């Protein structure tokens, strides 16, 4: 079933609180996994989900230590809804980031939330096969998989 790590904690307060959601410049080694998950959780609070009330947050960690956040943004034309992972990646790319090492995604679910199929494709293409995808929930559970494990047969540049 791929690489799997189970988070430990005692509920919503087990992640470290962080003061802001802005793009952070931090030494890559200094970002513990629980802080990246907490950054994604804080981003989730800004989600616009008036139709489903299903709020999702994401945080993308770059090799240079920057972290970009995203939340889902629903639209009444459901096809125009933006996923949290795509918002975070779009923000990162628009700021010049290109070397991504980890993507965390979190929602209020029974088990850790995986990216949807569309997000798996974009994560694979922008982050690469070896990027870690951290799937979490608000109950302090998480699971880590490589992007290539989540999308074993991607549509990629080899077809062009």
Options 38, 74, 85, 143, the catalytic residue: 85
Q: Which residue has the tokens 């791929």?
A: 2
Axis crossing angle, helix 117-127 with helix 84-94, rounded to the nearest 10: 30
Please tell me the distance from the alpha carbon of residue 143 to that of residue 138, in angstroms, as a whole number. 13
3-state secondary structure of 101: strand
Is 85 among the catalytic positions? Answer: yes
How many residues are there in the chain?
160
Catalytic annotation, residues: 85
């Amino acid at each position: 079933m791929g690489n799997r790590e189970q988070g430990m904690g005692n509920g919503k307060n087990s992640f470290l609180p962080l003061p802001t959601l802005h793009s952070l410049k931090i030494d890559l080694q200094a970002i513990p996994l629980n802080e990246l998950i907490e950054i994604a959780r804080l981003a989730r609070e800004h989600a616009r989900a008036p139709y489903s009330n299903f709020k999702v947050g994401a945080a993308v960690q770059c090799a240079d230590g920057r972290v970009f956040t995203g939340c889902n943004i629903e639209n009444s034309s459901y096809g125009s809804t933006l996923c949290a992972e795509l918002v975070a990646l779009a923000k990162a790319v628009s700021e010049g980031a290109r070397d991504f090492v980890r993507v965390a995604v979190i929602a209020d679910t029974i088990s850790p939330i995986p990216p949807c199929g569309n997000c798996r494709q974009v994560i694979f293409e922008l982050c690469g096969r070896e990027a870690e995808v951290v799937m979490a929930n608000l109950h302090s559970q998480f699971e880590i998989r490589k992007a290539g494990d989540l999308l074993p047969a991607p549509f990629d540049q080899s077809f062009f």
